[in-house]
Amino acid sequence: MTAPDAAPQAARPVLPVRPELAGEVPYGAPQLDVPVLLNVNENPYPPSAQVVADIAAAVAEAAHGLNRYPDREFLGLRADLAEYLAVESGVRVAPEQVWAANGSNEVMLHLLQAFGGPGRTALSFAPTYSMYPEYARDTHTRWVAGRRTEQFDVDPAEARALIARETPSVVLLTSPNNPTGTALELDTVRAVLAAAAEVPGGCVVVVDEAYGEFRREGVESALTLLAEHPHLAVSRTMSKAFGLAGARVGYLAASRELVDALRVVRLPYHLSAVTQATARAALRHAPELMAQVGSLRAERDQLVLDLRDRGLRVAESDANFVLFQVGQDRHAVWQGLLDRGVLIREVGPEGWLRVSVGTPEETAAFTAALWEVLGI
Ligand SMILES: *Cc1c(COP(=O)(O)O)cnc(C)c1O
């Protein structure tokens, strides 16, 4: 019985939430305020005073024109990105072959909006980036996850068979992969491209190289395959190597035809004048930022050795993070590190944890805490 003075209960609104979204929660790693943040693969070095000054000046300049909508085609930024890719990988593409958006997450959404959709399938190989199934869900695209091998590699023969069976319109290959760090052999990418070319109605292969700049000596970028494969897209981001996660700029390189399909689905003026100015100013400092990548790679290699020295199993890494095995109760290890002021990521196969490469001081704080927690 309700007490006579009880406040009337507000009626629960009836909202027509799509059934596949019912009970879902927004994606995101915990954002906790602790001294050592090694959980989301950020670059630990903030932009230098010079980079900050140049970005600020470029944004001030752009601010004078903020009464107008920004350049919808942003060919200036696309040309700068093409130039950067030519220097970084030796592969030259035209500005019209580059596409950009608010993070490579949005680039990926554009890809699925253009090439996925109801009645279509997107396929990848797990364990991999946990956002992909969400893009598929949001674009009504069926999701199929093949398996990676014990070494977190993709088996070319298995991949070919899976593609022939599932006839996807989009295949996502992540290389270096997140959360494992593993880069794919280009022969594997070639096998996937060949299988995709045989899918009736066509199939786009996306190689997500968000961590491409961290690849080890001798590991090739899929950019080198672009010229012969009009159904290939290679995506990159300014969030990781460039240390510009807060600016939200991701991009891809592909054939003009593929890029033109993305231009159809993007929202008008999706890339703000402020974002374009920020990215172009940062790109002018690419050589300085790339020097930093070299030291992060060296530190990554050393971290892998240190973990192995203590008897831990560690996945090969071509990224700015390392996946290592701690056994069954990984949550207790994660919590033990957090109690010592170090936040890493509880992600990937059961029993494994992922740590981003930080500054030498941060990495030292992480290893000291880990030896203590594991008693090794
Ligand atoms: C971090 C990451 C991205 C980059 O996302 P942004 O939206 O560009 O910040 C893309 N793909 C993978 C696999 C990643 O780990």
Cα–Cα distances in angstroms (integers) from residue 60 to residues 24, 34, 70, 79, 296, in the given order: 40, 33, 14, 22, 32
Residue 202 belongs to some domain of the structure = yes
Q: Are 220 and 91 in contact (CB under 8 A)?
A: no
Q: Is the domain of 55 the same as that of 43? A: no
Any idea what the CATH number is for the domain that residue 218 is in?
3.40.640.10
Residue 10 belongs to some domain of the structure = no
Q: Is the domain of 302 the same as that of 254? A: no
Domain end residue (candidates: 284, 303, 333):
284
Q: Which of 47, 44, 46 is nearest to 55 (CA)?
A: 47
Using DSSP's 3-state secondary structure scheme, residue 37 falls into strand
- Residue 47 DSSP class: P
Q: Is the domain of 43 the same as that of 84? A: no
Residue with CA nearest ligand 1 atom 15? 178
Q: Is the domain of 266 the same as that of 353? A: no
Alpha helices in 146-285 (DSSP H): 156-166, 186-197, 256-265, 273-283
Alpha helices in 20-93 (DSSP H): 49-63, 75-89
Mutate which of 81, 109, 111, 178 to test ligand 1's pocket (most atoms within 8 Å of Cβ)? 178
Residue 138 belongs to some domain of the structure = yes
Residue 158 belongs to some domain of the structure = yes
CB of 141 sitting under 6 A from ligand 1: no
Question: Rounded to an integer, what distance in angstroms lies between the CA atom of residue 173 and that of residue 183?
Answer: 10
pLDDT at 227: 97
Question: Rounded to an integer, what distance in angstroms lies between the CA atom of residue 114 and that of residue 85?
Answer: 24
Residue 9 belongs to some domain of the structure = no
Question: Rounded to an integer, what distance in angstroms lies between the CA atom of residue 296 and that of residue 321?
Answer: 10
Residue 14 belongs to some domain of the structure = no
Q: Is the domain of 175 the same as that of 201? A: yes
CB of 103 sitting under 6 A from ligand 1: yes
Residue with CA nearest ligand 1 atom 14? 210
* Contacting residues for 353 by C-beta, under 8 A, at least 6 apart: 323, 324, 326, 330, 333, 334, 344, 345, 346, 347
CB of 42 sitting under 6 A from ligand 1: no
Domain end residue (candidates: 284, 302, 325):
284
pLDDT at 5: 55
Q: In Å, how far from its chain's centre is CA 118?
A: 25
Which tokens go with 185? 């052999």
Q: Is the domain of 345 the same as that of 247? A: no
**Which atom of ligand 1 sits closest to the CA of residue 129?**
13
User: For residue 329, how far is its CA from the centre of ligand 1 (angstroms)?
Assistant: 28
Which tokens go with 213? 């700049």
CB atoms within 10 A of CB 113: 18
pLDDT at 4: 52
**Which atom of ligand 1 sits closest to the CA of residue 245?**
9
Q: Is the domain of 177 the same as that of 135? A: yes
Question: Tokens 């807060």 — which residue?
Answer: 246
Q: In Å, how far from its chain's centre is CA 311?
A: 30
Split the chain (376 residues) into runs of 10 and give each run's mean pLDDT: 56 89 85 93 94 98 98 96 96 98 98 98 97 96 97 98 98 98 97 98 98 95 98 97 96 98 97 98 92 93 98 97 94 97 96 97 98 96
CB atoms within 10 A of CB 251: 23
Q: Is the domain of 30 the same as that of 166? A: no
Alpha helices in 154-253 (DSSP H): 156-166, 186-197
Range of the domain at 320: 19-48+287-374
Burial class (CB in 10 A: 0-12, 13-18, 19+), 272: middle
Residue with CA nearest ligand 1 atom 2? 210
**Which atom of ligand 1 sits closest to the CA of residue 104?**
8
Q: Is the domain of 74 the same as that of 202? A: yes
Q: Which of 219, 159, 151 is nearest to 189 (CA)?
A: 159
Using DSSP's 3-state secondary structure scheme, residue 65 falls into coil
Instruction: Give the bridge partners for 98, in sequence order.
Output: 253
Q: Is the domain of 24 the same as that of 143? A: no
Domain end residue (candidates: 267, 284, 301):
284
Question: Rounded to an integer, what distance in angstroms lies between the CA atom of residue 376 and that of residue 27?
Answer: 34
Any idea what the CATH number is for the domain that residue 318 is in?
3.90.1150.10
Residue 5 belongs to some domain of the structure = no
Q: Are 323 and 315 in contact (CB under 8 A)?
A: yes
For residue 252, give the H/E element and its range.
strand 250-254
Task: Enter the pTM of the model.
Answer: 0.95
Q: Is the domain of 206 the same as that of 344? A: no
Q: Is the domain of 229 the same as that of 293? A: no
Instruction: Report how many domains make up the chain.
Output: 2
CB of 128 sitting under 6 A from ligand 1: no
Residue 2 belongs to some domain of the structure = no
